[in-house]
Amino acid sequence: MLPLFPGRRCPGKTPSSDRRLGDRLPFLRQRGKEVSESKSVACRATHSHFETHLPWSRWCPRAAEMFRNQYDNDVTVWSPQGRIHQIEYAMEAVKQGSATVGLKSKTHAVLVALKRAQSELAAHQKKILYVDNHIGISIAGLTADARLLCNFMRQECLDSRFVFDRPLPVSRLVSLIGSKTQIPTQRYGRRPYGVGLLIAGYDDMGPHIFQTCPSANYFDCKAMSIGARSQSARTYLERHMTEFADCNLNELVKHGLRALRETLPAEQDLTTKNVSIGIVGKDMEFTIYDDDDVAPFLEGLEERPQRKPAQPAEDTAEKAEEPMEH
């Protein structure tokens, strides 16, 4: 050990003390090793006790905070990646709702929705809602939020008829919905609407299908599907999109039913209980078909092709090893 000042000896430091310390070093090292091992055993026992009797977030709160997303506490907080997590969570709610399909031809716009029941004792929830004589919507997501937006749309349509004595253009109504749903995405303490809408309407510009999102974006579509397992329906719509423009009403409804059927599991099929249809078009007010009124459309629908179940890999390997017959 070097002295603090050259030429001076450190207080209490003598050559004899260095010799005594050197003699005791092996003993101190062994003693320190035993102490560290005993501490590690005690720590492991304490860890197992708390892990068994307490949640890890209580005895290790700092570790719990490490797994929390610090950018999803409010809708006004941006993440470093430029994302707003609360809006993304609201859009996930749309994906959890039952599927709905919208498509249009040159003369009509059609909505086809899959209805759900909470249990066998409950009735199926309505998925297609009437707005005005020339407009209707189908929903995917939180039904309570959809009712609130539907009431707003009805009020706007009534105001247009009272003030201007004319039906509200579909594009104008969709723009108002976009402005209303955008407000909760930028104000502190509010949450986005957890519902997606497919809006079908007919005005002087012809039939329309619009899609709205919790992010306040809206899109003018030729055909669209939202909700759970809706990707299968969109694949069908993309495959037959060129046929929709020249279809008559019955063919257009059948295309919507086939697309909706793609979202169902193999063991389930469309029935009069779980399907709702909404139609609006030229010289035709918006009409909703439920229960027995859906039967004529389902009768003309061909049976669903049976999908071949995938064979297990082990069975395939065993067949490959068998000799081929001559």
Structural domains in the chain plus CATH codes? 38-68 (no CATH), 87-299 (3.60.20.10)
What tokens were used for 274?
Answer: 């779980």
Percent share of the chain, pLDDT over 90: 59
Looking at residue 277, its pLDDT comes to 97
pLDDT at position 300 over 60: yes
Let me know: does 286 contact 278? Beta carbons within 8 Å: yes
- Joined together, the tokens standing for residue 18 give 């260095």
How many contiguous H segments (helices) and E segments (strands) does the chain have? 10, 10
- Which range scores top for mean pLDDT: 4-18, 170-184, 305-319? 170-184
> What is the Cβ-side half-sphere exposure of residue 38, based on CA atoms within 13 angstroms?
6
Distance CA 253, CA 258 (A): 9
pLDDT in tens, 237-293: 999 999 999 999 999 999 999 999 999 998 889 999 999 999 999 989 999 999 999
Residue 302 banded pLDDT, cuts 50, 70, 90: confident
- Angle (nearest 5°) at CA 318 between 312 and 320: 105
Q: What is the pLDDT of residue 9?
A: 52
What is the pTM (predicted TM-score) of this model?
0.73
What pLDDT is recorded for position 23? 63
Strands 108-114 and 195-203: unpaired
**pLDDT of residue 208 exceeding 60:** yes
Confidence check: pLDDT of 325 > 60: no
Q: Packing angle between helix 143-164 and helix 170-182, nearest 10 degrees?
A: 130
Q: 201: buried, middle or exposed (CB in 10 Å: 19+, 13-18, 0-12)?
A: buried
The predicted-structure confidence for 43-63, as pLDDT tens digits, reads as follows 554 444 444 444 434 545 444
Reference 264, options 95, 91, 98; nearest CA is: 98
Q: What is the pLDDT of residue 21?
A: 52
pLDDT band, residue 24 (cuts 50/70/90): low
Return the pLDDT at 34: 59
Lowest-confidence pick of 60-69, 142-151, 207-216: 60-69
